[in-house]
Amino acid sequence: MKGLAPKITLAFLFAIIVTLLLYSLILNQSIDEQFNNYIHANLRANNEKIASALAYAYIEDGGWTATTGVDISTLVKYDRISLRVRDINNFVVWNSINLHYDLASLFSLQSNNDTTTISYPISVNNETVGFVDITYFGIIPLSDLDSGFRISINKSLISTGIFSTIFAIFLSVIFSSGITSPLTNMTKIATQLRKGDLSQRIEVSSSEDEISELANAINHLAETLEKEEKLRKNITADIAHELRTPLMTLQGQLEAMIDEIIIPTPDTLASCQEEVERLSSLITDLEQLTSAESASLELNKELLSLTDLTRNIVDAFQSQYKAKNITLSFYANKRCNIYADKGKLTQILINLISNALKYSCPDDKVTVKIFYSENNIILRIIDTGLGISEADLPYIFERFYRGDKSRNRETGGSGIGLAIVKSLVEAHQWKIDVASALHKGATFTITIPFNNIYQDNYD
Ligand code: ADP
């Protein structure tokens, strides 16, 4: 069977029919029981009536005669009941089988197993004057009214069953299509998404059931895919743009040399080499960015001293800082052991400390600090340099974003450094913030939470 709808319909039907069958069985059983009780009570009342009619005939006749109460046997013979009256000494007064030929022939066809006999005492003034043996066919004789009632109950049970089954089929089809139609809709949307139309979304109903959850998950997936797709397109455009500028310059210079407009001198060749270097550093940056963005998958964490590692990097930068006449200082807590990927942490520090150098002027100060705050270790790089404008501040961690374009041509940045830092920081599940204002320096703060910190730090 293909499709979910027929399967759900069948499951519903099966459940409903089984319930109906069980219900009918139980109902039938209990009706039977009630009906039997009623029949027995009826029978008892009838029999008592016969016994008291015979007692009345006894009183009328002043004792038993061969015809005392005989007319009663004529009355009940149509109900196929035979009566035998005995006196107190058990002598048979009369027997309706002997009186009615047709009843006798009817009873002679029956075996004893098919008849039931009940004996009743006949009492006059609380004294037993005889007995009546009442014999009838089968276990319980049903009057026409009784059997009619029984048949009509059975009929209505059967017709209710048939009607309920038809109604159940109808409901099952409605319910199953109610369940499957959102799924069919989702399949349609998912197919459109697969074909590349990432703008498609599923309408989510307000009910918080599994189907709405699935729809939300698909919508979320579509949103992520759409964002990724936009990002991919943007990156491709950015990379193309970044590659084109140095290549065009290079091409222009080389063409001019070929056309002998410029003569190749060491200076012109050096400028060509500069462009080639820009290209190769851009490619290195791109490689680093790619590996930074997949860093969370391949972090190689180890227990290391943040203080020692930072101090070594600061020391390595000192000569470059001195050359630009910028002071680089370092302050740290004695023990700051953390779990981190050494190579990636080194890259974070290099990018931030080199940015501080790039965007500071002679006589500026750069301070690298490591300290505890509540349950975190804080790594802070503070510079008194050029600072970042309010307009640039929200974007500086984005790929290829460069604060002040003209300034950056000079510094030769590609706008990838901070994107790499952010990816690496987040891969470690740390946090990075920046506080800055134009001409007022910049402060980059990395927060390393407690679960990354080696307990021994507090001893
Ligand atoms: P790049 O430095 O290669 O341009 P980054 O991603 O490292 O790229 O930085 C992005 C931008 O953020 C820079 O272009 C610059 O405008 C700004 N920036 C980064 N660090 C600093 C800093 N310490 N001081 C001032 N501006 C900064």
Mutation probe of ligand 1 site: the residue of 282, 383, 398, 402 with most atoms within 8 A of C-beta: 402
Tell me, what's the pLDDT at 454?
A: 60
pLDDT tens digits, one per residue of 286-334: 888 888 877 666 788 999 999 999 999 999 999 999 999 999 999 997 6
pLDDT category of residue 459 using cuts at 50, 70 and 90:
very low
Q: How far apart are CA 16 and CA 327, in angstroms?
A: 84
Parallel, antiparallel or unpaired: strands 327-332 and 365-373: parallel
Q: How far apart are CA 26 and CA 157, in angstroms?
A: 12
Q: How far apart are CA 253 and CA 273, in angstroms?
A: 11
Tell me, what's the pLDDT at 205?
A: 76
pLDDT tens digits, one per residue of 5-21: 788 888 888 888 888 88
Q: What is the mean pLDDT of the chain?
A: 85
Q: What are phi and psi of 304, to 5 degrees?
A: -140, 160
Which residue, judged by its Cα, is nearest atom 16 of ligand 1?
Answer: 403
Tell me, what's the pLDDT at 406?
A: 47
Are the C-beta atoms of 173 and 6 separated by less than 8 Å?
A: no
Looking at residues 111-128, what average pLDDT do you find? 82
Helix (H) / strand (E) containing 446 = strand 442-448
> Which atom of ligand 1 lies nearest, measured to the CA of 385?
24
Are the C-beta atoms of 350 and 418 separated by less than 8 Å?
A: no
**Residue holding tokens 């950056």?**
408
CB burial of residue 447 (10 Å; 0-12, 13-18, 19+): middle
> Which atom of ligand 1 lies nearest, measured to the CA of 444?
23
Tell me, what's the pLDDT at 325?
A: 96
The string of DSSP codes covering 253-316 is: HHHHHHTTSS---HHHHHHHHHHHHHHHHHHHHHHHHHHHHTGGGS--EEEEEHHHHHHHHHHH
Compute the residue count for the chain.
459
Are the C-beta atoms of 310 and 340 separated by less than 8 Å?
A: no
> Which atom of ligand 1 lies nearest, measured to the CA of 401?
10
Look up the pTM and report it: 0.55
Helix (H) / strand (E) containing 329 = strand 327-332
Are the C-beta atoms of 21 and 192 separated by less than 8 Å?
A: no
Q: What percent of the chain has pLDDT over 70?
A: 89
Looking at residues 122-142, what average pLDDT do you find? 80
- Is residue 432 scored above 80 in pLDDT? yes
List all residues whose CB is within 6 A of at least one atom of ligand 1: 355-356, 358-359, 383, 385-388, 392, 396, 401-404, 408, 413-419, 442
Where helices occur in 62-143 by DSSP H, the ranges are 70-77, 96-99, 101-108
- Considering only residues 295 and 195, tell me which one the structure prediction assigns the higher pLDDT: 195
Tell me, what's the pLDDT at 229?
A: 84
pLDDT category of residue 407 using cuts at 50, 70 and 90:
low
Q: How far apart are CA 129 and CA 375, in angstroms?
A: 108
Looking at residues 127-146, what average pLDDT do you find? 76
Amino acid present at 78: Y
Question: Within 10 A of 144 (CB to CB), how many other CB atoms are there?
Answer: 8
pLDDT tens digits, one per residue of 38-47: 888 888 888 8
> Which atom of ligand 1 lies nearest, measured to the CA of 356?
23
- 30 Cα: distance to centroid of ligand 1 (angstroms): 88
- Is residue 141 scored above 60 in pLDDT? no
Mutation probe of ligand 1 site: the residue of 281, 355, 384 with most atoms within 8 A of C-beta: 355
Which residue, judged by its Cα, is nearest atom 21 of ligand 1?
Answer: 355
pLDDT category of residue 112 using cuts at 50, 70 and 90:
low
